[in-house]
Amino acid sequence: MQDKNIFDPEKIALIDFKMIKGQVDTPENFDISKVVGHQLDNSLQLGFNLDDKLAKADFTVSVKTDSKGENETEATGNFHLIFIYRIENLEELATHEKNKRLNLHPGLANALSSVTYSTSRGIL
């Protein structure tokens, strides 16, 4: 069992982010008053470079209006953002298991996810 005291959010720093894709498509004759809802899909993938104490959060989101067929074509938005974090004590929070999987401290996963989602929301 991992020592929960090894997680310290002050040892995490967001060092870079890039918007890889930012695309909004609104058809010319689109009538927003006919929209009854939205479809939202998102994905977050985390990757780690243990030697350099880096984590990468790869976040994608797509939004599509739902007009129940009242608009000929729906409006869409597609976004892809990447965040790079430096984690001072990453070697304590992410360790290799025998099966080559990475054992990740739950506090670290939660922190990276929370910062990535909230920062993306602010950017968008």
CATH of the domain at 42: 3.10.420
pLDDT given for residue 97 in this prediction: 85
Would you say residue 112 lies in a domain?
A: yes
pLDDT given for residue 1 in this prediction: 44
3-state secondary structure 19-83: EEEEEEECCCCCCHHHCCEEEEEEEEEEEEECCCCEEEEEEEEEEEEECCCCCCCCCEEEEEEEE
| Rounded (10°) CA dihedral 104, 21, 64, 58 | 0
Spatial separation of the C-alpha atoms in residues 123 and 117, rounded to whole Å: 10
Would you say residue 4 lies in a domain?
A: no
Give me the mean pLDDT over the 11-35 stretch.
Answer: 96
Spatial separation of the C-alpha atoms in residues 25 and 66, rounded to whole Å: 14
Domain that holds residue 82: 9-123
pLDDT given for residue 3 in this prediction: 54
Would you say residue 3 lies in a domain?
A: no
Would you say residue 101 lies in a domain?
A: yes
pLDDT given for residue 101 in this prediction: 87
Give the chain's count of helices (H) and strands (E).
Answer: 2, 6
Spatial separation of the C-alpha atoms in residues 46 and 59, rounded to whole Å: 9
Instruction: Read off the pLDDT of residues 71-93 as tens digits, 9 standing for 90 and up.
Output: 999 999 999 999 999 999 999 99
Would you say residue 51 lies in a domain?
A: yes
Number of domains in the chain: 1
pLDDT given for residue 22 in this prediction: 97
Instruction: Read off the pLDDT of residues 26-79 as tens digits, 9 standing for 90 and up.
Output: 999 999 999 999 999 999 999 999 999 999 999 999 999 999 999 999 999 999
> Confidence class of residue 96 from pLDDT cuts 50, 70 and 90?
confident
Q: What's the predicted TM-score (pTM) here?
A: 0.86
Would you say residue 87 lies in a domain?
A: yes
pLDDT given for residue 14 in this prediction: 97
